[in-house]
Amino acid sequence: MKVSKIISLVVLFLSASSIALSAAQCCPVTAPSLREGLMKQPGIVEAQFLYMKASFPSCHASTIEETKDYFISAYFGGTGEGNEDVCIWVSRKKKDAKQWDVPVMAADGIQSPGVAGQSDKAAKRYPCWNPVLYQDKAANGKFYLFYKVGPSPDNWWGMLKVSDDQGKSWSQGSRLPDGFAGPVRAKPVMLDDGRLLCPSSNEDKGWRSHMEWTPDFGKTWFKTEPLNDGKAVRSIQPTILTFKDGRIEILTRSKQNKIYKSWSNDGGKTWSELVPSVLPNPNSGIDAVRLKDGRHLLVYNHSDSRKKLNVAVTEDGESWKAALKLEDLTTIEGNDAYGAYPAAILGSDGLVHIVYTWKRQRINYVVVDPAKLVLRDMPDGNWPD
């Protein structure tokens, strides 16, 4: 075979490999665990991974938000949760695009000397945790990235970055005041009085939930006392439900095998006792979103593990109807073989946009049309299998 022909074949092979790799990294691919049943369920519009391959092997704790032109998701990624190389990564999808852009790093945990309580003479690096995105809905409103930095959830601190170009670039990170973490897992909610209400918690003295708020997007902060003692009830990571009559409910992750709930009648400044709801919780994150008709949709693990991920709907925050089963990985072995830690928003298109961790390897993205959901009763909180 002539040398020129061999070279041509090699070039052709490399070109094909490059195209295949690019497609594998970026093209929308339905999650394997969902192919058989998810798309057949009423209400499902779309399901795909944010990426197929990234520069980091492990990811978790995704968040999602909508800007003028994009849907944007952030999550932490690195060699493994709690490792110093774990950074905050951002994926963006143009609203008219069929696929997500390649992940871009938005924040790392490198702390300069004298910053964030550092007394070391050299910079020090810590892992990043739990990003939360928020778009100011005002004209020309800024785009906010809340996240945590620190050795562990017991002693992390809140950080904040701001973007003026829909998440393409970010300001330098600024540390929140001592004792404030900002929205620790689920998204904040803007109240009618202009306060950004942030569901928060801490883990340094037991698992305790509380609420924080800022009237000026992070310049000043206020918070409630802990809503539980961290012993009899171990609760973290609240998600917020707002009702037409002005009441606010939070639902929280717990170590008591139930989602816990509390109510406020004064804009989140004081709260009722945290008590168990009818819904199960396998010590895993949850997220709720208010629909246009005032109902709320909740994404959570309705099981004793994180292997099943479900969607339920409520009108009153007390009783629930089954809507969807997003994941069922019960036949797959491994502690990380689960679908969990969801985040959900109501888009301007009237659809619910959901992201969640898939096997700690990827972030899955699902779009739901709430008007097409077929709801079923859940007597005593039992899923109607």
Spatial contact of 103 and 122, defined as CB atoms under 8 Å apart = no
* 228: in domain: no
Report yes or no on whether pTM surpasses 0.85: yes
Closest CA to 185 of 224, 148, 149, 135: 148
* Residue 11: its H or E element: helix 3-26
Q: How far apart are CA 71 and CA 92, in angstroms?
A: 6
- Domain holding 80, by residue range, is 59-175
Report if residue 146 sits inside a domain.
yes
Residue 130 lies in a domain: yes
* CB-CB contact of 70 with 167 (8 Å): yes
Question: CA 276, 281, 287, 289: dihedral to nearest 10 degrees?
Answer: -60
Residues 6+ apart with CB under 8 A from 218: 144, 160, 174, 176, 182
Q: In this predicted structure, what is the pLDDT of residue 114?
A: 59
Does 129 fall in a domain? Answer: yes
Whether 315 contacts 249, CB under 8 Å: no
**DSSP for residue 204:** B
Residue 137: CB atoms within 10 A of its CB come to: 8
Radius of gyration (C-alpha) of the chain in whole angstroms: 21
Within 13 A of 377's CA, how many CA atoms are on the CB side? 2
For residues 65 and 43, the answer to whether their CB atoms sit within 8 Å is no
Q: How far apart, in Å, do the first and last CA atoms of the chain sit?
A: 63
Work out the number of other CB atoms within 10 angstroms of the CB of residue 257.
Answer: 11
Decide if 314 contacts 264 (C-beta within 8 A): no
- pLDDT tens for the 385 residues of the chain, in order: 444 443 343 333 333 333 333 444 444 555 554 556 788 899 999 999 999 999 999 999 999 999 999 999 999 999 999 999 999 999 999 999 999 999 999 999 998 875 555 555 678 999 999 999 999 998 789 999 999 999 999 999 999 999 999 999 999 999 999 999 999 999 999 999 999 999 999 999 899 999 999 999 999 999 999 999 999 999 999 999 999 999 999 999 999 999 999 999 999 999 999 999 999 999 999 999 999 999 999 999 999 999 999 999 999 999 999 999 999 998 888 888 999 999 999 999 999 999 999 999 999 999 999 999 999 999 989 999 7
Coil vs helix vs strand at 329: coil
9: left (phi over 0), alpha (psi -120 to 50) or beta: alpha
d(CA 214, CA 197) in angstroms, rounded, equals: 7
- Measured CA to CA, the distance from residue 346 to residue 75 in angstroms comes to 19
Alpha carbon distance 121, 113 (integer Å): 6
Question: CA dihedral defined by 198, 350, 25, 97, rounded to 10 degrees?
Answer: -130
Domain annotation covers residue 52 = no
> Which among 136, 125, 248, 236 is positioned nearest to 186, based on CA atoms?
236
Q: Is residue 364 part of a domain?
A: no
Q: What is Dmax (Cα atoms) for the chain?
A: 82
Calpha distance 343→321 (Å, rounded): 19
Q: Is residue 112 part of a domain?
A: yes
Number of domains in the chain: 1
Let me know if residue 309 belongs to a domain.
no
Sequence-separated contacts (24+) of 219-228 with Cβ below 8 Å: 221/176, 221/177, 221/180, 223/179, 223/180, 224/268, 224/269, 224/270, 224/271, 226/202, 227/262, 227/271, 227/274, 228/260, 228/274
- Looking at residue 4, what is its pLDDT? 45
How far, in Å, CA of 300 to CA of 259, rounded?
9
Count of beta carbons in the 10 Å neighbourhood of residue 300: 26
